[in-house]
């Protein structure tokens, strides 16, 4: 094991198309440089917190602060796994997997973004499938939650392609206007029906207790 004191650094999920891994600082710096090239249309806002509006270099610094915060505050009761998405070995975006009291709830939630040049090629679906595999096959989850604004067809498309069902809706103040978030959920039995056998988990055994699994 390369990182006995912080074994998450050895955790990786591989699919035939991508790798998702827990990033060291060098990889975080590369990820932090991506949003400046664009994550969405300026007229759109897919995120509850409009972090992508910040100008450089605050954009990069706030991203790093966010990821370092999740690294530092990790506990088995409350964790956010920041998954760096690598396409042909190069960073393309982030897929997160989040758990609160996972040992009891067996419930997960996810969040994601890709640099614009990586969007619309099925990578968003692949990276969500990768971390759902970590959650269901690796950690024994019973349910995964997600959500997206109703005007985000790509994110809703990822969820629907992977078998999520609608799970209610909620209105938010999005930059001063009401916006409807559609809740989604994927139960273990629905995940099993589409379960893939070409996704590989590496370095998980040393991390199980970190997740409360």
Contact footprint for ligand COA (CB under 6 A): 39-40, 46-47, 112-114, 119-125, 148, 152-155, 157-158, 161
- The token pair that represents 108 in the structure block: 């997960």
Determine if the peptide bond prior to 57 is cis (ω within 30°): yes
Nearer to ligand COA, 12 or 114 (CB): 114
Q: Using the CB atoms, write b or e for 111-120: b if 16+ within 10 Å.
A: bbbbbeebbe
Shortest Å distance, C-beta 165 to ligand COA:
15
**Minimum gap (Å) between residue 137 Cβ and ligand COA:** 20
- Shortest reach from residue 160's CB to ligand COA, in Å: 7
> What are 81's strand-pairing partners?
97
Q: Return the number of the residue (60 or 110) whose C-beta is nearest ligand COA.
A: 110
Closer Cβ to ligand COA, 121 or 172, answer by number: 121
Q: What is the CA radius of gyration of the chain?
A: 16
Q: Which is nearer to ligand COA, 81 or 113 (CB)?
A: 113
Q: Please give the distance of CA 153 from its chain centroid, rounded to a whole number.
A: 17
Q: Minimum Å distance from CB 93 to ligand COA?
A: 6
- Name which of 60 and 126 has its Cβ closer to ligand COA: 126
Please choose, from the candidates 103, 106, 127, the residue with its C-alpha nearest in 3D space to the C-alpha of residue 199.
Answer: 127
User: Which residue is it, tokens 């989850």?
Assistant: 141
Structure tokens at 141: 């989850």
Q: How far is the CB of 192 from ligand COA (least distance, A)?
A: 19
């Amino acid at each position: 094991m390369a990182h006995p004191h912080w074994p998450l650094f050895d955790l990786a999920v591989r699919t035939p198309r991508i790798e998702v891994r827990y990033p060291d600082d060098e990889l975080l710096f590369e990820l932090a440089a991506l949003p400046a090239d664009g994550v969405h249309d300026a007229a759109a806002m897919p995120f509850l917190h409009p972090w992508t509006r910040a100008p450089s270099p605050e954009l990069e610094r706030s991203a790093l602060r966010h990821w370092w915060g999740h690294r530092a505050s990790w506990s088995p009761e409350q964790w956010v796994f920041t998954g760096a998405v690598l396409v042909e070995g190069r960073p393309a975006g982030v897929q997160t997997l989040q758990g609160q009291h996972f040992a009891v709830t067996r419930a997960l939630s996810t969040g994601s973004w890709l640099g614009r040049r990586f969007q619309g090629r099925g990578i968003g679906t692949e990276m969500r499938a990768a971390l759902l595999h970590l959650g269901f096959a690796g950690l024994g989850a019973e349910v995964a939650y997600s959500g997206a604004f109703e005007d985000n067809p790509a994110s809703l498309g990822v969820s629907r392609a992977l078998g999520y069902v609608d799970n209610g809706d909620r209105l938010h103040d999005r930059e001063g206007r009401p916006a409807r978030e559609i809740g989604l959920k994927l139960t273990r039995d629905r995940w099993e029906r589409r379960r893939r056998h070409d996704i590989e988990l590496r370095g998980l055994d040393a991390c199980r207790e970190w997740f409360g699994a």
